[in-house]
Amino acid sequence: MGLIYKSLTDEDFKVLLALERSLTNREYAPLQVIEKISGIYEEKLQLVLRKLHDLKLVKRETISGEKMYRLTYLGYDMLAIRSLAKANILEAIGDRIGVGKESEIYLGLAPGGLQVAVKFIRIGKTSFRQTMRVRVWARDKPQTSWYEQSKIAAEREFKAIKELASYKAHVPNPTGYNRHVVVTEFIEGVELYRRPSLDNPGKVLSEILFTLTIAYHRAGIIHGDLSEYNVLIRKSDEKPFIIDWPQYVYREDPSARDLLKRDVFYIVKFFNKVYGTSLEPESVFNTIIMGNHLG
Ligand SMILES: Nc1ncnc2c1ncn2[C@@H]1O[C@H](COP(=O)(O)OP(=O)(O)O)[C@@H](O)[C@H]1O
Ligand SMILES: [Mg+2]
C-alpha cells in the first residue's frame, strides 16, 4: 500500500479526485466527464487511467459500448492517505496488521515517530455476506453507497473514541480521520481472544468494566459488539483497550439496555471461564447501570 502511494504523481491524484467527485452522481464516469473535472486532456488521461487500472485503483467497465471508470476502495484509500499526510497525521504507511469483519488495519508512522494504527473501513463491496448486511442497514438510507457508509462509520468511530479518550476510558488515542480511514495510537498488544496469560485478570476485567461505565454514563453510548476480538491487552502493562466502536448505540436507543447487558454478560462470562474470575454478570450489569465504577 505504501509503495503504491509513493508511485503516484499529482496528475494521478487529480484523476483520482475527479473519480471521487463523479462517485456522487453515478458510480461509473465516462472519459469526457473525467477529462472535464480533472482538466487533463484525453491522451494523457488515457495513460493515467491505464496506470491507475494496473494498480487496481480504478475499475473499468464497458457500459453500452462506452468505457467507464470508477474508484475502487484502494483508490479511495490513496486519497485518504494523501489528505492525512497533508494534515500531518500520517507520514508513512507500513504492513497490514489486522483484518476485521469490515476493515483492514495497517501500521503507520506519524510525524515525530509515533506508531499509529490506520483503520481502512470497507463496508460492502467485498463479500456477499457483507453486502447482505449493508442491504439491511441501507433500508433506512437507500441512497447511501459503499464509500459513504464507510465514511460515516469512520467519522462515527473517530468521534466516539475521541470523546471516550477525553474521559480517560481505555481506548486507543485517536489522532485523526479522513474519508473512510481512522488513525489511532498503535497498541503493542495481544487480542484477548488469544487468551494471553494475565498476572491480574480481575484488574483487567474491572478496567474493561470501567470503560463500559464511562461510555454509558459520560459519553452516553454502548459499544454493542464487545467480545474478546475487540479487546487488546497491552504487553508492557496488561492494560486493556477496547477497540472497534463504529456500531455503538446511544443510551436513549430502545435496544440500549439489552445491548449493554449482552456486552457485559459476554465479557464477564468470558473472564470467568478463561481466567477463573467469579463475578456475577447480573450484579455487574446493575453496578454499571448505577455508575458505581466511576469512583
Ligand atoms: N490501535 C490498534 N493497535 C494495534 N492493533 C490494532 C489497533 N486497532 C486495531 N488493531 C488490530 O486490527 C484488528 C481489527 O481491528 P478492529 O477495529 O476490531 O476492526 P474490525 O471492525 O474490522 O473488527 C484488531 O483485532 C487488532 O488486531
Ligand atoms: Mg473488531
Give me the residue spans of the domains in the chain.
2-71, 88-185, 189-294
Tens digit of each residue's pLDDT (9 = 90 or more) over 194-233: 999 999 999 999 999 999 999 999 999 999 999 999 999 9
CATH superfamily of 88-185: Phosphorylase Kinase; domain 1 (3.30.200.20)
Distance of CA 214 to the CA centre of its chain: 21
pLDDT given for residue 293 in this prediction: 55
Work out the mean pLDDT of the chain and round it to a whole number.
Answer: 92
DSSP state of 186: P
Query: What is the rounded average pLDDT of the residues 168-191?
Result: 98
Q: What is the dihedral of CA 89, 93, 94, 98, to 10 degrees?
A: 70
Residue 182 reports pLDDT greater than 90: yes
pLDDT given for residue 143 in this prediction: 59
Q: Whose CA is nearest to atom 12 of ligand 1?
A: 98
Atom of ligand 1 nearest to the CA of 230: 18
Q: What is the Cα–Cα distance from 131 to 125, expressed in whole angstroms?
A: 7
CATH 1.10.10.10 fits 2-71, yes or no: yes
Helices (DSSP H) in the chain: which residue ranges? 2-6, 10-23, 31-38, 42-54, 73-86, 128-137, 146-166, 201-214, 256-275, 281-290
Q: What is the Cα–Cα distance from 114 to 185, expressed in whole angstroms?
A: 8
54 is catalytic: no
Q: Which of 229, 226, 114 is nearest to 169 (CA)?
A: 226
Provide the whole-model pTM. 0.91
User: Within 13 Å and on the Cβ side, how many CA atoms surround 93?
Assistant: 23
pLDDT given for residue 130 in this prediction: 45
Question: What is the assigned CATH class of domain 189-294?
Answer: mainly alpha
Ligand nearest to C-alpha 153: 1
Q: Which residues, 6+ apart, have CB-to-CB distance to 267 below 8 Å? A: 205, 208, 209, 226, 227, 228, 231
pLDDT given for residue 101 in this prediction: 79
The pocket of ion ligand 2, defined by CB under 5 A, consists of 100, 230, 244
Confidence of residue 144 (pLDDT cuts 50, 70, 90): confident
Ligand 1: residues whose CB is within 6 Å? Answer: 97-98, 100-103, 105, 117, 119, 172, 184, 186-187, 191, 229-230, 232, 243-244
Tens digit of each residue's pLDDT (9 = 90 or more) over 66-111: 999 999 999 999 999 999 999 999 999 999 999 987 899 999 999 9
Q: How far is CA 20 from CA 14, 23, 67, 79, in A?
A: 10, 5, 17, 9
Expressed in angstroms and rounded, the spacing between residue 2 Cα and the centre of ligand 1 is 19
Expressed in angstroms and rounded, the spacing between residue 190 Cα and the centre of ligand 1 is 10
Q: Whose CA is nearest to atom 8 of ligand 1?
A: 117
